[in-house]
Structure 1
Amino acid sequence: MIALDDIDRGLLRAMALDAEQSAGALGRKFGLSQPATWRRIRRLEEAGILAGRKLELDREALGFGVTVFLGVKLATKGRVSLEDFERAVTAIPEVQTVEHVLGLYDYRLRIVARDLPDFERILRRRIMTLPGAGAVEANVLLSEERLPGPL
């Protein structure tokens, strides 16, 4: 783990707000030259602190108006491997995240759908037919608040 100074932390905050800023623009904010800024960004990437920049799409604008968190309990532990379930569930395009969790359910999925009938179709035809899929519990996302910054 590398030591972060105030400029490193400032760069991370600025990039979290707008990852498309040029190294020159970031450098001007922190009193650095463009090459010095690039060296810092590269060092943060090499250390694994800055793991990349991602494109964020507006799901609603693309026609996906419903987000559902689905808890999935495996019905046949031991008979179906976790890897088989994970491989099958990650192949479903509407499944945005797959989290193996401790608690009442074995997995927590984030699923996007066009509407509730579309979610029902995904649930019946794709999720419930997965190897080992057992009990499920669905929670429909009503609103989402995000904290500023990457963490």
Structure 2
Amino acid sequence: MTEIDDTDRALLRAMQEDATRSSAALAALVGLSQPVAWRRIRRLEDAGVIAGRRLDLDLDALGFGVTVFLGVKLATKGRVALPDFERALGAIPEIQTVEHVLGLYDYRLRVVARDLADFERLLRRRIMTLPGVGEVEANVLLSEERRPGPL
């Protein structure tokens, strides 16, 4: 495990707030020189602490007005290889996240669609036809009050 000190934590918090900040801007925020900040960020990336940077898109503005969480229970665990099932899910772009979970369902999926009719087509034609799919439970997102923030 990589040693993380208070300065590293301050850099990570600043990057979580705005991942587009330059190393010079981050350095100024935490009281470092730009080269030192850059080296620390690079060390955190190399150690895997920073796994990547992402762009947060407004799904409504892009025409995806429905988000559904699906609980998927595999019908035949022994006959379907989990990596094959996960790879098949990865081929469906509307599936935003795939989480292998412990509990009532084997997988939890976050799926976006243009509207409920679009979601129904996606569910019937793409998701339910995947090998090994047994039970599926859908929960439609009504609103999202809290977004993930800094740790």
Q: TM-score under structure 1 normalisation?
A: 0.94
Separation of aligned partners in 2, 1:87 and 1:124: 19
Cα deviation, 1:2-38, whole Å, max 9, x if unaligned, reads 2222111111000000011111111112221111110
Q: Which runs of 5+ in 1 are unaligned?
A: none
Corresponding residue of 2:10: 10
Corresponding residue of 2:99: 99
Q: Letter of the 1:128 partner, please give it.
A: M
Separation of aligned partners in 2, 1:24 and 1:86: 40
Q: Letter of the 2:114 partner, please give it.
A: R
Separation of aligned partners in 2, 1:24 and 1:48: 22
Corresponding residue of 1:87: 87
Stretches of 4+ aligned residues off by more than 4 angstroms:
none
Corresponding residue of 1:23: 23
Give the count of matched residue pairs.
150
Corresponding residue of 1:127: 127
Q: TM-score under structure 2 normalisation?
A: 0.94
Q: Which runs of 5+ in 2 are unaligned?
A: none
Corresponding residue of 1:70: 70
Separation of aligned partners in 2, 1:107 and 1:57: 24
Corresponding residue of 2:113: 113
Corresponding residue of 1:40: 40
Identity %: 75
Alignment CA distance shift 1:90-1:147 (3 Å): closer
Cα deviation, 1:39-68, whole Å, max 9, x if unaligned, reads 111111111111121111111110001110
